[in-house]
Amino acid sequence: MSNGTGPGAVCLPPFLPASDFPKKGGYTSGRFCGTDGSPSGQICCLPCPLEDWVYSDRYVKDVKVSSWISVASFALCSFLLISFVALPSETNIRHFLNIGLTVAITFYTLAFMIPLGTKPDLCYDKVTPNGQDSDMSCAWTGALLLLGGIGSAYWILLRSLWLNIRICWDRKPGRKFAIFSVVSGIAIPTALTAATIAVSGLSYRIGTVCIPNHENSIAVFWAWTVAFAGLALIIQAVTSLYCVWIYIRVVVKGWNKTTTGTGGSGPFSHERPKPQHTWHKVRRVLLLQWRGIALAIVVTTQVLFYIIVFWAQDLKFGKITANKSTLGEAKTWTACLAIYKGDKKKCLQYAHDLTISQNLALASLMLGALCGIENFFLLVRRSMLVGWWKILTFPWRALHGRR
């Protein structure tokens, strides 16, 4: 398509002539342009940002609510990280899996906090959304979102694998597993984040946090994140089913059976049957690791929900921007906007076919913002609070005790 025929191009409100805005700066592929907004067949573009036209006015206010929830999540995650470093090891659960996941969630929540301070301009010009090269807030929020999202999914996968080895195989993952987890937990999210930024790029697609552009984003971001989270959920399900299976075996065989004979003085009279012995070991691990299991299930479910929702959004937006003048839904919606001269309230019913629902988008943002709060309540211990109370009330005594 051409950009129109110059100053003489005529576009019906609210559309603007594409020829007035050269294709330089911002994310030009994110423009919503076509011939439906002009009676003479000129290329016309919908004003930026697109979300203002497909969602109600309440959407922007609700997005800010999720950002403020992220502030609370960030504060609580920061408290955990400082506690891991500052408190004695006996007062907290300073485990590499806890630290890795908490750092990833901290990055993720920080991405939603930044716009509260920067108040970014979502658009480079009247029809072009800003991208990573034209807006620093976009670059930072997008990078942190990628690093936190991929990191959370991968560290949950490592946690699920650790629990599976510990419970199903009755092995305690040692130093080699810890080294592999730390190295890969840093390298893989960092590499995928860098690849996504380089190959796909970032732009304001929905909300005040930049997400990957449609081009090549499935291969370098969406598919990997879904794979990590999905595999974590499968491993966690296998571990849970194993626990249920062991419990059922114990119930069926009976708790009081100690020998196949009738006497109680044989050499095996005090030997526990294997199912009962296994269940006692599994039960002991479950009592110690129930928080980790709950955290793995909660975070994995939320990461999958968030990623799938915005993956669907990306696919729909990508389909629209690639075929604006051929999609029947887009033609109906743009025709409605032209007829009612930009009154979006009368056309929202047609916009629903072009994007995910507003409630679904907001729900995914809210759940994502809550990850840090859930992580805090599942990892915090009473001993950590007591340790901080001792430091704050008797700082010199606490300092002397650490020496």
Kindly indicate the confidence band of residue 274, based on its pLDDT and cuts at 50, 70 and 90.
low
Kindly indicate the confidence band of residue 261, based on its pLDDT and cuts at 50, 70 and 90.
very low
Domain count, the chain: 1
pLDDT of residue 61: 83
* Burial status of residue 82 (CB atoms within 10 A of its CB: 0-12, 13-18, 19 or more): exposed
Kindly indicate the confidence band of residue 353, based on its pLDDT and cuts at 50, 70 and 90.
confident
Q: What is the pLDDT of residues 333-352, one digit of tens each?
A: 888 998 998 899 898 888 87
Per-residue b/e over 162-199, b at no fewer than 16 CB within 10 Å? bbbbbbbeeeebeeebeeebeeebeebbeebbebbbee
Domain annotation covers residue 33: no
Query: Is the pLDDT confidence value at 271 over 60?
Result: no
Query: Is the pLDDT confidence value at 322 over 80?
Result: no
Average per-residue pLDDT for the chain: 83
Q: What is the pLDDT of residues 213-245, one digit of tens each?
A: 888 888 899 899 989 999 999 998 899 888 888
Domain annotation covers residue 18: no
**Pick from 50-59, 172-181, 288-297: least confident:** 288-297
Domain annotation covers residue 7: no
pLDDT of residue 227: 93
Domain annotation covers residue 338: no
pLDDT of residue 254: 66
Domain annotation covers residue 232: yes
Nearest Cα neighbor of 256 from 264, 244, 267 is: 264
How far is 181 from 199, CA to CA, in rounded Å? 26
For residues 372-391, give the mean pLDDT.
89
Query: Is the pLDDT confidence value at 266 over 50?
Result: no
pLDDT of residue 265: 45
Tell me the residue range of the domain where 362 lies: 57-260+267-326+357-402
Q: What is the pLDDT of residues 275-290, one digit of tens each?
A: 677 777 777 777 777 8
Domain annotation covers residue 339: no
Domain annotation covers residue 192: yes
Domain annotation covers residue 299: yes
CATH of the domain at 254: 1.20.1070.10
Q: Which residue has the higher pLDDT, 75 or 261?
A: 75
